[in-house]
Structure 1
Amino acid sequence: MLDYIIKTSISRHYLVFLLVLGVCGLGLWNFTKLPIDAVPDITDVQVVINTDAPGYTPLEVEQRVSYPVETAMAGLPNLQHTRSVSRYGLSQVTVIFDDGTDIYFARQLVSERLNAANNTLPESLEPTLGPVATGLGEIFMFTVDVIPGAQNPDGSKITPMDLRTVHDWIIRPQLLRVPGVVEVNPIGGFKKEILIELDYSNLLSFNLTQADLVNAIDQNNENRGVGFIEHNGSQWLLRVEGQADQINQLEELYVADFQGTPIRVKDVANVSIGKELRTGAATQNGREVVMSTVFMLIGENSRTVAKAVGEKLKEIKVSLPEGIVATAVYDRTELVDKTLKTVQTNLLEGALLVVVILFLLLGNFRAALLTAVVIPIAMLMTITGMVHTKVSANLMSLGALDFGLLVDGAIIIVENCLRRLSQAHKEGGVTLNERFDIVFKATKEVIKPALFGVFIITAVYIPIFALSGVEGKMFHPMATTVVIALLASIILSVTFIPACVAIFFKKPVKESENKLMLVL
Structure 2
Amino acid sequence: MATPAPSSDAAPRLGVSGRIAAYFQRAQITPLLALVALLLGLFAVGVTPREEEPQINVTMANVLVPFPGAAVRDVEQMVAGPAEQVLAQIAGVEHVLSVSRPGLAVITVQFKVGVPRTEALVRLYDAVNSNADWLPKGLGVLDPIVKPKGIDDVPIVTLTLFSRQPATGPYDLERVAHSLEADLKRVAGTRTVTTLGGPGRAVMVEIDPSRMAGVGITVPDLRQALLAANLGLPVGDLIGGNRAVAIEAGPFLSQASEVAELVVGVRGAKPVFLRDVASVRDGPPPAARYVWHGVAARDGQPAAEYPAVTLAITKKPGENAIDVANAVLQRVDSLRNTVIPGDVEVATTRNYGASANDKAQKLMQKLLFATASVVALVFLALGRREAAIVGSAVILTLTVTLFASWAWGFTLNRVSLFALIFSIGILVDDAIVVVENI
Q: TM-score range by the shorter chain?
A: 0.7 to 0.9
**What is the identity, as a one-letter code, of the residue corresponding to 2:411?**
S
Deviates more, 1:305-314 or 1:87-96: 87-96
Give the match for residue 271 of structure 1.
280
> What letter is aligned with 2:430?
G
Name 2:53's counterpart in structure 1. 39
2:159 corresponds to which residue?
Answer: 142
2:17 equivalent to 1:2:
yes
Identify the match of residue 186 of structure 2 among 165, 172, 177: 177
Contact 1:137/1:298 (8 A) holds in 2? no
Secondary structure of 1:47's aligned partner = strand
Aligned equivalents of 1:164, 1:111: Cα separation in 2: 36
* 2:353 aligns with one of 333, 338, 354: 333
Q: Give the distance between the partners of 2:313 and 2:33, measured in 1 at CA.
A: 43
Query: 1:405-416 residue pairs with structure 2 within 5 A?
Result: 405-416=426-437
**Counterparts of 2:274 and 2:381, CA distance in 1:** 93
Deviation at 1:394, TM superposition (A): 1.9
Q: Which runs of 5+ in 1 are unaligned?
A: 150-156, 219-242, 418-520
The structure-2 alpha-carbon separation of the partners of 1:3 and 1:411, relative to structure 1 and needing over 3 Å to count, comes to: closer
Structure 1 residues 172 and 133: alpha-carbon distance in aligned structure 2, compared to 1, 3 A threshold: farther
Query: What corresponds to 1:369 in structure 2?
Result: 388
Q: Which has the higher helix share?
A: 1
Q: Which residue of 2 aligns with 1:79?
A: 92
Alpha-carbon spacing, 1:273–1:334, altered in 2? closer, same or farther (3 Å): same
**Residues 118-267 of structure 1 correspond to what in structure 2 (within 5 A)?**
120-121=135-136, 123=140, 127-130=144-147, 132-134=149-151, 137-148=154-165, 157-168=167-178, 170-198=179-207, 202=211, 206=215, 209-210=221-222, 211-212=224-225, 215=228, 247-248=256-257, 250-252=259-261, 257-267=266-276
CA distance in 2, matches of 1:38, 1:115: 38
2:307 matched residue in structure 1: 288
Letter in 2 for 1:162: D
Cα offsets for 1:123-144 (capped at 9, x unmatched) = 2567544564328823222111
Identity of aligned residues (%): 23
* Distance in 1 separating the partners of 2:316 and 2:324: 9
Residues of 2 paired with 1:88 and 1:248: CA distance? 28
Q: Specify the SS of the correspondent of 1:319.
A: coil
After superposition, the C-alpha distances for 1:247-270 in whole angstroms (9 at most, x for unaligned) are: 456534555543233422211332
Distance in 1, matches of 2:407 and 2:229, equals: 60
CA separation of 1:136/1:216 partners in 2, compared to 1, >3 Å: closer, same or farther? closer
SS at match of 1:95: strand
Q: Is the 2:229–2:253 Cα contact (8 Å) retained in structure 1? A: no
1:290 & 1:325 partners in 2: Cα distance?
A: 11
Distance 2:408 2:54 in 1: 14
Q: Which secondary structure state, in structure 1, belongs to the residue aligned with residue 435 of structure 2?
A: helix
> How big is the shift at 1:190?
1.9
The 3 A distance-change label for structure 1 pair 73 and 28 is farther
- AA aligned opposite 1:352: A
User: Do 1:61 and 1:86's aligned partners in 2 also have CA atoms closer than 8 Å?
Assistant: no
Q: TM-score, normalised by structure 1?
A: 0.62
Question: Is the Cα–Cα contact under 8 Å of residues 51 and 128 in structure 1 kept in the other structure?
Answer: yes
| Matched residue SS, 2:308 | strand
Deviations 1:430-468 (A, max 9, x none): xxxxxxxxxxxxxxxxxxxxxxxxxxxxxxxxxxxxxxx
User: How far, CA to CA, are the matches of 2:228 and 2:155 in structure 1?
Assistant: 42
Distance 1:128 1:358, change over 3 A: same
Whether the 8 Å CA contact 1:133–1:295 is kept in 2: the answer is: no
Give structure 2 stretches of 5+ with no counterpart. Answer: 1-15, 232-251, 295-304
Q: Alpha-carbon deviation of 1:289?
A: 0.8
Name the TM-score, length of structure 2 as normaliser: 0.72
Which of these two proteins has the greater Rg computed from alpha carbons? 1
Q: Which residue of 1 aligns with 2:413?
A: 394
Assess, with a 3 A threshold, how the Cα gap between structure 1 residues 206 and 343 changes in structure 2: closer, same or farther: same
SS at match of 2:341: coil
Deviation at 1:308, TM superposition (A): 2.9
Note if contact 2:80-2:106 (Cα within 8 Å) is conserved in structure 1.
yes
2:106, 2:253 → 1: CA distance? 36
CA distance in 1 between counterparts of 2:311 and 2:112 reads 31
Q: Once the two structures are superposed, what CA deviation does each residue of 1:101-133 show, in whole Å capped at 9, x if it has no partner?
A: 554664465456546666605525675445643
| In 1: Cα distance, 2:175 partner to 2:293 partner | 18
Tell me the matched-pair count. 381
* Root-mean-square deviation (Å): 3.6
Say if 1:160 and 1:290, in contact at 8 Å, map to a contact too. yes
Q: 1:217 to 1:356 in 2, by over 3 A?
A: closer
**Structural mapping, 1:285-434, within 5 Å:** 285=294, 286-317=305-336, 318-364=338-384, 366-387=385-406, 390-400=409-419, 401-402=421-422, 403-417=424-438
The residue matched to 2:426 in structure 1 has which SS? Answer: helix
Amino acid at match of 1:167: A
CA distance in 2, matches of 1:356, 1:131: 51
Using the alignment, how far apart are the partners of 1:214 and 1:139 within structure 2?
Answer: 39
